[in-house]
A and B are shown apart, each in its own frame.
Chain A
Amino acid sequence: MIEVRDVSKWYGNFQALKDISFSINEGEIVGFLGPNGAGKTTAMRIITGYFLPNTGTISINGISMEENPAEAKKLLGYLPEIPPLYPEMPVNEYLKFVAELNGVPRSNIKQRLDFVIEKTSLQEKYYSKIKTLSKGLKQRVGIAAAVIHDPKVIVLDEPTIGLDPLQIIEIRNLIKDIAEEKTIILSSHILAEVEEVCSRVIIINNGEIIAEDSTENLRKRLQPDRLFLIKINEENDISTIVEKINGVISCTSENPKEYIIRTNDIPSIQAVITKSIVENGFSLLEVKEIELSLEEIFAKLIKGE
């Protein structure tokens, strides 16, 4: 669906993107992850045809952005980091204007308008001027505008930045809702968001792609062992018992009632450990697997570990 080949972008002497290549299949939801200034926005602006790259090519559904920008752009819906809204326009007129810009046939405009208004729950704000809307509502108008021409690909740059927690949940649900049959690229520095919404992540740092995989695989790669936190009621040392179990690498304790157990990646290991603790007469209060958070994955990748 989207093919990016050897794309570089310079701003004067600064190279924002360094020969990046990736492809995204139809129906995928891909997250662009990276610290601020990593090149996420530049990459999105190049995919959407806002910038032309200095070298390399982009094609959307086989249509080259350089040779046939108008056709390629028709397939795209884009929500930039700051939603591009005309504050003095009412919501319905703005969305109609964007539909016409994107060449939606006049006979279809009403139907598309009703559809996106319903999806984004903007019915009550239909005639409201955009400048009177809250930040979350403005973001919804931006999303409505990005999908009004029923594009195959939707590009969202930091769609939840600056929103309050409730609005963030709303926008995430909205993204999942519109994701049916669409290819979505979403950038974020909120890692949980990418993990929740995306099937695959592309991690960018300093203009280079440093990792590209599913969140699950990334985690496995960086954390080959499993870690468990175990709490018991007694103050007896259980490490000698646990370390005898096949597959356990180590057992350390912070205090007499809490232990961190490192094991090999064996699916049934958790059951084996708990069973053995209970069988030895201890009261087990809590067993929790510790997973590397995306923040930690991210930090590890960026440091090149």
Chain B
Amino acid sequence: MKKSWLLAKRDLNSLFLNSTIAPIILVIIYLASGFFFYSYFTYARVANLAGYIPNMIIILALTISIITARAFIEEKRNNTLELLFTSPLTDAQIYFGKFLAYNIFSIIMIAPVFVYTGILFIVGKPDVLPLIFTLIAYILLTVLFTTFSLLISYIASNQAVAAVVSFLVLLLLSLVDWIKNMVNLPFFKNLISMVSYSEHLSNLSKGLLDLNALLYFVLFIGVLIYINITLIESKK
């Protein structure tokens, strides 16, 4: 863990102090985030995040894809994977260094939501349970997106390709629920229900302690981590 944190610290330093794209992305997502919260809150006048989060998902998928694409690509470009793989580190330590760094950055990207939650409590009387579950779901979704983008970044050999592929797949994952209503085959309907997070997200925002939903996120993230570490190991 100490070694992973060492790697993560270096990545975060490089993101915040030495990249131009990271601050720009933060400004964009903070502006969008403020806009969506303000318009939903003043229009609907309901003290919850149910209308805010679905609006954020596409832009979140985009920004995470752009930022996380550099995770492994940058190391490949600098030839520094050779440094990491020949240092006394395990493949899992190397992976979790990236996992920590880029998830911390993603959480910073969604950080305004915590401020908005505070505002809801100040100006209104929100239902506590749905709000907390919504926040948990939002964080899990962010981690899921980031973990997925990391995997693409490891497989791809070019940053732009990694960002585009990652965004398209996350977009598909977010919109797949719509397709469900268009197909009539029960097999596909079931498959889509299994893959899609929309239902889980909406259950949690209603304040239902949906264990299936939590399991969905944890399992999905776990499988992505497993695949990524296995790929790193097999490359040797």
User: A residues bordering B, Cβ < 8 Å?
Assistant: 45, 48-52, 69-71, 73-74, 76, 78, 80, 82-89, 97-98, 100-103, 145
User: How long is the Cα–Cα vector from A140 to B89 in the complex, in angstroms?
Assistant: 24
User: How long is the Cα–Cα vector from A73 to B90 in the complex, in angstroms?
Assistant: 11
**Chain A residues with CB below 8 A from B90, complex form:** 69-70
Q: With A98-B87, A101-B83 given, can you name 4 additional A-B contacts, CB distance below 8 Å?
A: A69-B88, A80-B83, A101-B84, A145-B83
**Chain A residues with CB below 8 A from B81, complex form:** 84
Complex contact B6–A101 (CB within 8 A): yes
Q: Scan B4-28; emit 1 where CB is below 8 A from any A CB, else 0.
A: 0011001000100111000000000
User: How long is the Cα–Cα vector from A95 to B14 in the complex, in angstroms?
Assistant: 15
- Would A101 and B89 be within 8 Å (CB), given that A86-B10, A88-B18 are in contact? yes
Chain B residue at minimal CB-CB distance from A71: B88
Complex contact B80–A50 (CB within 8 A): no
**Chain A residues with CB below 8 A from B87, complex form:** 73, 98, 101-102
CB proximity of B142 to chain A, nearest CB, Å: 26
- Would A84 and B79 be within 8 Å (CB), given that A71-B88, A78-B86 are in contact? yes
**Chain A residues with CB below 8 A from B82, complex form:** 45, 50, 78, 80, 82, 84
Q: Is the interface of A mostly helix, strand, loop or mixed?
A: loop
**Chain B residues with CB below 8 A from A80, complex form:** 79, 82-83, 86
Chain A residue at minimal CB-CB distance from B235: A51
- Would A98 and B83 be within 8 Å (CB), given that A51-B236, A70-B90 are in contact? yes
User: How long is the Cα–Cα vector from A98 to B3 in the complex, in angstroms?
Assistant: 11
Q: Scan B78-117; emit 1 where CB is below 8 A from any A CB, else 0.
A: 1111111111111000000000000000000000000000
User: B residues bordering A, Cβ < 8 Å?
Assistant: 3, 6-7, 10, 14, 17-19, 78-90, 236
A71, A73, A84, A88 — most chain B CB neighbours (10 Å): A84
Complex contact B80–A102 (CB within 8 A): no
CB proximity of B215 to chain A, nearest CB, Å: 34
Partner of B88, one of A83, A85, A102: A102
Complex contact A84–B80 (CB within 8 A): yes
Complex contact B18–A50 (CB within 8 A): no
Chain A residue at minimal CB-CB distance from B7: A101
How many residue pairs link A and B with beta carbons under 8 A? The number is 67
**Chain A residues with CB below 8 A from B89, complex form:** 70, 101
User: How long is the Cα–Cα vector from A88 to B81 in the complex, in angstroms?
Assistant: 16
- Would A84 and B78 be within 8 Å (CB), given that A48-B86, A70-B88, A73-B88 are in contact? yes
Chain A residue at minimal CB-CB distance from B17: A88
Chain B residue at minimal CB-CB distance from A47: B86
Complex contact A101–B3 (CB within 8 A): yes
Complex contact B86–A86 (CB within 8 A): no
User: How long is the Cα–Cα vector from A78 to B89 in the complex, in angstroms?
Assistant: 14
User: How long is the Cα–Cα vector from A103 to B3 in the complex, in angstroms?
Assistant: 9
Can you identify 13 A-B contacts, CB atoms within 8 angstroms?
A45-B82, A50-B236, A51-B236, A52-B236, A70-B89, A73-B86, A78-B86, A80-B79, A82-B82, A88-B18, A98-B83, A101-B88, A103-B88
- Would A86 and B80 be within 8 Å (CB), given that A51-B236, A100-B6 are in contact? yes
Complex contact A83–B79 (CB within 8 A): yes
CB proximity of B47 to chain A, nearest CB, Å: 44
**Chain B residues with CB below 8 A from A83, complex form:** 79
CB proximity of B14 to chain A, nearest CB, Å: 6
CB proximity of A170 to chain B, nearest CB, Å: 22
User: How long is the Cα–Cα vector from A78 to B83 in the complex, in angstroms?
Assistant: 8
**Chain A residues with CB below 8 A from B18, complex form:** 88
CB proximity of A158 to chain B, nearest CB, Å: 13
Complex contact B86–A87 (CB within 8 A): no
B6, B18, B19 — most chain A CB neighbours (10 Å): B18
**Chain A residues with CB below 8 A from B3, complex form:** 101
User: How long is the Cα–Cα vector from A147 to B208 in the complex, in angstroms?
Assistant: 57
Chain A residue at minimal CB-CB distance from B80: A84
User: How long is the Cα–Cα vector from A88 to B16 in the complex, in angstroms?
Assistant: 12
Complex contact A85–B86 (CB within 8 A): no
Partner of A84, one of B17, B83, B236: B83
**Chain B residues with CB below 8 A from A50, complex form:** 82, 85-86, 236
Complex contact A86–B236 (CB within 8 A): no
CB proximity of B28 to chain A, nearest CB, Å: 22
CB proximity of B133 to chain A, nearest CB, Å: 40
Chain B residue at minimal CB-CB distance from A53: B236
